[in-house]
Chains A and B, each alone.
Chain A
Amino acid sequence: MINIVILTLLVVIAIAIIRMKDLFAVVMLLGIYGLLSASFFVAMDAVDVAFTEAAVGAGISTLLMLVVISMTGRREITTRHKPFSALFVVAITGFLLIYGTLDMPYFGSADAPIHGHVAPRYINDSMQEIGIPNIVTSVLASYRAFDTFGEVVVIFTAGIGVLALLSVVRRPEDPEQIAVINDSMHERHLVIRIIAKILIPFILLFALYVQFHGDFGPGGGFQAGVIFAAAIILYTMLFGLSTARRVINQSLIRLVAATGVLLYGSVGLATLLSGGNFFDYNVLANDPIAGQHLGIALIELGVGCTVAVVIIIIFFNFAARREMQLNNKKQHQDKKNKESSSC
């Protein structure tokens, strides 16, 4: 029942997104869409996925889009090109898919082929073979560890790609100017600054909890990384980019991003050199279960480091680009003094 309500709401939001011209509103709705689909995942028992989708779909991607919209302008120009050919393509694909669903196993039926063959082993034997209760983590980090390695490399690639496209050489900053900006920001953001100061340590702590609790409940390296990054982003938004850059050294975090991937890979190499196959954690310790625990903990750490740092890098580069554009604009029109509005 719950799924029907949520899915209907999702369709309503999606249609509203087509109709909206104001990109800002579109992104707000996209945030709602992310939260709703995450609730759907909870209703479908996919707690780990819901965790990630909430942090990523509703959190990080909305955030990045907002930063970009603040740089590129808010309104969509209404012309749609070739709506009919688009409709045609979409209709064909849609009908093909609906045709394909007609003899699909029904939703929720336990005897569908998907629930036979491969999956039962994960459910029945993972406790003996891996020894942790969260099956998703066991599959993710051990049975299909190589997919997860690929996933880490994907996010690393995105980080490098953003660096290659957006990174700017920064001029040395004038400390006085920073102080002035800081003061004005301090006045404007007084209340949230205080609240954020209370919250940020809590968020960081929570990220650590998620990182190490991933074996027993929803969570793990990726989710922890995103939450950690979210805390840093919160700090950056309230205390300014230059302050944040002073706290978090740029070349250091690039190093951490590389180390995360290398840590993950070298767990594999270690297993390889101790005589097992790549990612065969059983050989890491005398007891296979202990080996699995060690291997999973290490690679989760690698995932966490890389994800957190890459998301921070991505955000910093977008924010720095925005700052640079604003500065350029300011130089262009000197007559307009900084007329900063507040929140």
Chain B
Amino acid sequence: MLMGLFNHWVVIALMMIGLYIVIAHGNLIKKIVGLTLFQTSVFIFYISMAKVNGGTAPILADDIIQYSNPLPHVLILTAIVVGIATTALALSLVVRIKETYGSIEEENIQDQDNQTFEQSNSQKDSKQEKQA
């Protein structure tokens, strides 16, 4: 059992490390790194389930009878592309966030948002009081 499921368990460990980084770290780039780890671990999971003992790469040749399963490979090719697309978009968001907020730490950004929110609220409130 240990050998049969070792791959799956390591993949789970990797997934959880990725997920942990995404949730627990405040740095936006670190979060993206975590997301990449998370996605890559899913790729590893798919590819390990495609493997057949004694099989070889699914490219037909004359003297080979057993091949690994090609379908997960196809799916993961698509998923890798999706992954890089997400990363690129996320990074461009980070660049813009850095430009407008001057920081890429989650807490810092949320503090700034709360401040502006309260300011605008208090301004409006005072306006209303004047009106009354």
Are B52 and A108 in contact, CB atoms less than 8 angstroms apart?
yes
Contacts of B93 in A (CB 8 A): 165
A326 interfacial contact with B, CB 8 Å: no
Name A107's contact: one of B5, B67, B69 (CB within 8 Å).
B5
Contacts of B95 in A (CB 8 A): 68, 71-72, 165-166, 318, 321
**Closest residue of A by beta carbon distance from B106:** A81
Cα distance, A49 to B66, chains bound together (Å): 19
Cα distance, A118 to B36, chains bound together (Å): 30
Cα distance, A114 to B53, chains bound together (Å): 14
Are B5 and A106 in contact, CB atoms less than 8 angstroms apart?
yes
Contacts of B27 in A (CB 8 A): 23, 76-77
A97 interfacial contact with B, CB 8 Å: yes
Name A110's contact: one of B37, B52, B73 (CB within 8 Å).
B52
Are A73 and B104 in contact, CB atoms less than 8 angstroms apart?
yes
Name B59's contact: one of A47, A65, A82, A93 (CB within 8 Å).
A47
Are A90 and B19 in contact, CB atoms less than 8 angstroms apart?
yes
Contacts of A10 in B (CB 8 A): 10, 14, 44
Contacts of A307 in B (CB 8 A): 81
**Closest residue of B by beta carbon distance from A141:** B74
Shortest C-beta distance, B47 to chain A (Å), equals 5
Are A104 and B5 in contact, CB atoms less than 8 angstroms apart?
yes
Are A46 and B29 in contact, CB atoms less than 8 angstroms apart?
no
Interface of A is mostly: helix
Are B78 and A72 in contact, CB atoms less than 8 angstroms apart?
no
Query: Which residues of B, 15-36, contact A by the 8 Å Cβ criterion?
Result: 15-21, 23-27, 29-30, 32-33, 36
Are A101 and B8 in contact, CB atoms less than 8 angstroms apart?
yes
Given A23-B30, A45-B51, 17 further pairs, Cβ under 8 A = A3-B7, A4-B6, A17-B37, A18-B21, A26-B30, A44-B47, A49-B43, A64-B88, A77-B27, A80-B24, A101-B9, A102-B5, A110-B55, A122-B71, A147-B75, A158-B84, A165-B96
Cα distance, A108 to B69, chains bound together (Å): 10
A69 interfacial contact with B, CB 8 Å: yes
Name B85's contact: one of A73, A123, A140, A157 (CB within 8 Å).
A157
**Closest residue of A by beta carbon distance from B60:** A133
Q: Interface residues, chain A, CB within 8 Å of chain B?
A: 3-4, 7-8, 10-11, 14-15, 17-18, 23, 26-27, 30, 33-34, 37, 40-41, 44-49, 52-53, 56-57, 60-61, 64-65, 68-69, 71-73, 76-77, 79-83, 85-87, 89-91, 93-94, 97-98, 101-102, 104-110, 112, 114-115, 118-119, 122-123, 126-127, 133-136, 139-140, 144, 147-148, 150-151, 154-155, 157-158, 161-162, 165-166, 216-218, 222, 307, 314, 317-318, 321, 325
Interface of B is mostly: helix
Name A217's contact: one of B12, B59, B108 (CB within 8 Å).
B59
Count B interface residues, CB 8 Å.
85
Name A72's contact: one of B8, B59, B98 (CB within 8 Å).
B98
Are B59 and A133 in contact, CB atoms less than 8 angstroms apart?
yes
A166-B92, A321-B95 are known contacts. Are A90 and B23 too (CB-CB below 8 A)? yes
Cα distance, A40 to B50, chains bound together (Å): 13
A44-B47, A47-B57 are known contacts. Are A81 and B26 too (CB-CB below 8 A)? yes
Shortest C-beta distance, A167 to chain B (Å), equals 10
Contacts of A87 in B (CB 8 A): 20, 24
**Closest residue of A by beta carbon distance from B13:** A11
Are A65 and B33 in contact, CB atoms less than 8 angstroms apart?
yes
Cα distance, A79 to B108, chains bound together (Å): 11
Cα distance, A93 to B16, chains bound together (Å): 8
Contacts of A76 in B (CB 8 A): 25-27, 29-30, 105
Between-chain CB contacts (< 8 Å), 23 pairs: A7-B10, A14-B14, A27-B33, A40-B44, A44-B50, A44-B51, A45-B50, A47-B57, A49-B73, A57-B80, A76-B27, A81-B107, A85-B23, A87-B24, A107-B48, A114-B72, A122-B71, A136-B70, A136-B73, A136-B74, A151-B81, A154-B82, A157-B85
B132 interfacial contact with A, CB 8 Å: no
Contacts of B61 in A (CB 8 A): 133
